[in-house]
Structure 1
Amino acid sequence: MTTALAALRRSVIDAALEWREPAARMLARLLPADVLWFVDTPAPVFGLTFDDGPAPETTPRLLDVLARHSARATFFLIGERVRAHPELVAAIADAGHELANHLMRDERSALVPDSRFRRELAEVTGLLTPYGPVKWFRPGSGVFTPRMLRSAAEQHLHAVLGTLVAANRGGPADARIAGELAAGIRPGSIVVLHEGTPARGGVAETTDELLATMSRRGLSAVTVSELTAR
């Protein structure tokens, strides 16, 4: 590929990345469901969230990175991992981050029978509440139904998705995640990253790079609750 073609390809990719977040906001406005995707705010902040923890391979390093950047985040935690690692849940809360409900297992919540969904949603909230208030939930795989939203509302939980989503998978593409996310982040964006497994160990480096880039742009990472208060 010639230098000119490479530059053109890069400019097209950059433009697509820059428009990904506005396009997601536009789509979210068209959906009738009561789901938080982003926040309309001029404040120089964005919501940073992590799914699928806690885990000893990822959570402690994430907490170190967040502390180094004076950043705050919302951790959407899986119940069975909360049971396995209560000390990590305590560490997240003690560091000033927000705890949120990501159901009991790493599975597609939309396929879970209603009775089990209701029961396990309440169970995970019960596991998290001793460490702090729980206001938010995120369905597994990001797919929701009206039934799920009604069940969550009855338990005083509000659904949160996001406009920018990425998952570290342990391959070469992981090195591009931070740059691709940074190209789309705007004030009020909600960013979704994933931890919780050894293959996602690179999420700490991704987060470090992302926060450094956003700091240079004057944007800070906050919890979902802090974002909605702006």
Structure 2
Amino acid sequence: MATTPAGPAGFVLRWREPATRAVSRLIPGDVLWYVDTDDPVFALTFDDGPGPESTPRLLEVLARHGAKATFFLVGERVEAYPHLVASITAAGHELANHLMRDERSALIPDPQFRRDLARTTELLSPYGPIRWFRPGSGVFTPRMLRSAAEQNLQAVLGTLVAANRGLPSDERIAKSLLPGVRPGSILVLHEGGPERQGVVETTDELLSALSLQAVTVSDLVARS
């Protein structure tokens, strides 16, 4: 789920990157918002997949640009589209936990949150190690972080966030994001449903314009 949609003129997202870095230093908790690095790289992440309308085309775009990404997948969709999950890992991308359903994680009772987090990791683990999770809506609580830590998962949010919605304004998302992407940024985009198909064009436009290399979250952290 999106935490901040792209603004109509782009100026909101243009200033979100430095503001997020500053605010994140004041927020307690083991949460990854960005990485301090001088390497010309940023982490590209996708929430809410996989989806047959977007995932295969995203993988084609990423391969064409030599880019890598971390896919924060929803458990229900992992169960529905295991072949797409296999395609993501076969292409060398990273998987991460976005819980079982596309919903606000902060509203889920703690016992259910723990079960959903564990179940999603269980579904993903056959494809490779899972070390990251992202709460639905990007809102977390201390008890969520404690529960995740007990399951050896760390929360990852991001410095720039946008969601395609199948509207004309989608065409301006990439242009709005570009000025804010810098070394160490974590960019959050959204795929999954038919209304999110525009994320393919957004990703292509971003990767065509950026001089930075897109990498996985784990690769970005390794460069800190």
Asked if these proteins are the same fold (TM beyond 0.5), I'd say yes
Give the superposition deviation at 1:19. Answer: 2.9
Secondary structure of the equivalent of 1:38?
Answer: coil
Higher RCO (C-alpha under 8 Å, 6+ residues apart): 2
Q: Residue 117 of structure 1 aligns with which residue?
A: 113
Mapped pair 1:138 → 2:134 = yes
- One of 23, 45, 64 as aligned partner of 1:68: 64
* CA distance in 2 between partners of 1:41 and 1:99 (Å): 22
Structure 1: gaps spanning 5 or more residues: 1-12
Give the superposition deviation at 1:16. Answer: 5.8
Equivalent position amino acid for 2:101 in 1: R
CA 1:98–1:226: 2 relative to 1, 3 Å: same
- One of 33, 52, 76 as aligned partner of 1:37: 33
Deviations 1:167-216 (A, max 9, x none): 000111101111111110010000000000000100000000000111xx
Equivalent position amino acid for 1:226 in 2: D
Which structure has more helix as a fraction of its residues? 1
TM-score, with structure 1 as normaliser: 0.91
- CA RMSD of the aligned region, Å? 1.1
Q: Percent identity?
A: 73
Conservation of the 8 A alpha-carbon contact between 1:14 and 1:183 = no
| Moved >4 Å (runs of 4+) | 13-17
TM-score, with structure 2 as normaliser: 0.94
Give the superposition deviation at 1:15. Answer: 6.6
Q: Residue 215 of structure 2 aligns with which residue?
A: 222
Secondary structure of the equivalent of 1:30?
Answer: coil
Q: Residue 4 of structure 2 aligns with which residue?
A: none
Equivalent position amino acid for 1:156 in 2: N
CA 1:199–1:17: 2 relative to 1, 3 Å: closer
The total of aligned residue pairs comes to 215
Deviations 1:44-71 (A, max 9, x none): 0000000000010110000000000000
Structure 2: gaps spanning 5 or more residues: 1-8
